[in-house]
C-alpha cells in the first residue's frame, strides 16, 4: 500500500530499550578503526577498558528503532536510503548503561510521483537509571519509491553551506577491508554491508560501508582535531550523506573553524568523492 500521510504522522512507534556494556563501547570504536596504533594513548582510551570513554557518535546506534521495517507504514523500506543525521548530547555518554529511546515522526514531505518522499524523525535517548535525557537525534530518510501519495509538497530546508576558503584542518582516517564487518556488530546487520551478492543486486561492485560508520569516522576526526580527543568537547554534529564508501578507502575530513563551532565535509581520497557534506559540529562552550 502507499503512504498515508495522516496515518504516518500519527504513528505510535514503540520505545526501544538496550543494556550496553564496556564490550559494546569498545566494539563500536573498533568498528570505526580506532586502535590501529597500539601506542596511541588518545585512541586507546576508547578501545581499552582501563579509563574507557565512549565516543559521542555512539549515541546514534544505541536503542535504535527498526520501525520502518517492523511497522505497517506503507513505506517501500527496501528502497529507503539514509539522507541526513544529527545528534545533540546533553551530557557525555557513560561507557556502559541502560538506555531507552522514543522515536516520533516530525514531518513527511512528498516530492512527487517518481521523485520519492522525505521523512524526518526525532529520537530521544534516555538513561533508564537516572531518567536523564542523554541525547536528541534527528534522522532524515529518503524514500525513493514512495512519492506521489498526496502529502505536502513543500521543499525541505536548505543545508548549511560550506565556506569558500580552503579548510583549516584536514584529517585522514584510513579504513580497513573488514571495517563494515566489524561495524555491523554494533547493530546494523543489513546484508548490503556484508554480502557481495546483495551489494551487486543494489548496484554496487562490492559491499559498502554503513553511512553511520562514515559519520562516526568523521566524528572522531572532529573530536581529535578540535577537542583534543575529549568526548565532552563534541556536543553536537550533523551531516548529509552524499555517496557511499567502500571499506579499505581513506576518509578525509575537511574542517573549517568558525565562531559557532565548525563546518566540515568528508571525501574518499582514492576516488576524490565527497561522501558526507554540509556538516556542522557543535563544540562545548560555543553558542
Q: Are residues 134 and 209 in the same domain?
A: no
Q: Coil, strand or helix: which one is 262?
A: strand
Q: Are residues 139 and 16 in the same domain?
A: yes
Q: Which domain holds residue 268?
A: 169-283
59-73, 75-89, 116-130 — most confident range: 116-130
Question: In the chain, what's the furthest Cα-to-Cα distance?
Answer: 57
Instruction: Tell me the per-residue pLDDT of 119-154, one tens digit each, with 9 for 90 and over.
Output: 899 999 999 999 999 999 999 988 877 776 776 666
Exposure class string for 164-180: b at 16+ Cβ within 10 A, else e: eeebebebebebeeebb
Cα separation of 183 and 193, whole Å? 9
List active site positions: 188, 193, 208, 211
Instruction: Tell me the per-residue pLDDT of 257-270, one tens digit each, with 9 for 90 and over.
Output: 987 799 999 999 99
Cα separation of 271 and 133, whole Å? 40
Q: Are residues 139 and 177 in the same domain?
A: no
Q: Are residues 186 and 137 in the same domain?
A: no
CATH number, residue 99: 3.10.129.10
**Residues 6+ away with beta carbon under 8 Å from 4:** 74, 149
Burial of 159 (0-12, 13-18, 19+ CB in 10 A): middle
Instruction: Tell me the per-residue pLDDT of 6-44, one tens digit each, with 9 for 90 and over.
Output: 888 889 999 999 999 999 999 999 999 999 998 999 999
Cα separation of 186 and 182, whole Å? 8
Model confidence at 163: pLDDT above 90? no
- 156 in any annotated domain: no
- 162 in any annotated domain: no
Q: Are residues 131 and 19 in the same domain?
A: yes
Cα separation of 238 and 252, whole Å? 17
- 153 in any annotated domain: no
pLDDT on residue 149: 78
Q: Coil, strand or helix: which one is 181?
A: helix
Q: Is the separation of the CB atoms in 18 and 134 below 8 Å?
A: no
Q: What is the pTM of this model?
A: 0.93
Amino acid at each position: 500500500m502507499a503512504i498515508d500521510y495522516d496515518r504516518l504522522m500519527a504513528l505510535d512507534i514503540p520505545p526501544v530499550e538496550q543494556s550496553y556494556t564496556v564490550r559494546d563501547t569498545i566494539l563500536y570504536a573498533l568498528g570505526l578503526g580506532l586502535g590501529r596504533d597500539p601506542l596511541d594513548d588518545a585512541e586507546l582510551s576508547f578501545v581499552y577498558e582501563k579509563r574507557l570513554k565512549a565516543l559521542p557518535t555512539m549515541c546514534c546506534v544505541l536503542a535504535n528503532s527498526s520501525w520502518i521495517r517492523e511497522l505497517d507504514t506503507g513505506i517501500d523500506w527496501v528502497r529507503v536510503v539514509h539522507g541526513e543525521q544529527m545528534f545533540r548530547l546533553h551530557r557525555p555518554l557513560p561507557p556502559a548503561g541502560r538506555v531507552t529511546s522514543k522515536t516520533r515522526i516530525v514531518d513527511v514531505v512528498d516530492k512527487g510521483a517518481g521523485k520519492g518522499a522525505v521523512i524526518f524523525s526525532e529520537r530521544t535517548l534516555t538513561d533508564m537509571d537516572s531518567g536523564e535525557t542523554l541525547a536528541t537525534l534527528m534522522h532524515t530518510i529518503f524514500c525513493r519509491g514512495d512519492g506521489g501519495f498526496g502529502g505536502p509538497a513543500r521543499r525541505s530546508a536548505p543545508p548549511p553551506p560550506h565556506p569558500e576558503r580552503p579548510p583549516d584542518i584536514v584529517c585522514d582516517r584510513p579504513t580497513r577491508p573488514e571495517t563494515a564487518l566489524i561495524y555491523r556488530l554494533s547493530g546494523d546487520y543489513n546484508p548490503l554491508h556484508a554480502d557481495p551478492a546483495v551489494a551487486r543486486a543494489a548496484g554496487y561492485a562490492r559491499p559498502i560501508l554503513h553511512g553511520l560508520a562514515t559519520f562516526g569516522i568523521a566524528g572522531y576526526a572532529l573530536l581529535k582535531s578540535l577537542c583534543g580527543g575529549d568526548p565532552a568537547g563534541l556536543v553536537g554534529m550533523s551531516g548529509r550523506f552524499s555517496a557511499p564508501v567502500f571499506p579499505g578507502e581513506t576518509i578525509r575530513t575537511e574542517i573549517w573553524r568558525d565562531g559557532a563551532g565548525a563546518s566540515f565535509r568528508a571525501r574518499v581520497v582514492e576516488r576524490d568523492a565527497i561522501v558526507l557534506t554540509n556538516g556542522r559540529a557543535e563544540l562545548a562552550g560555543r553558542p
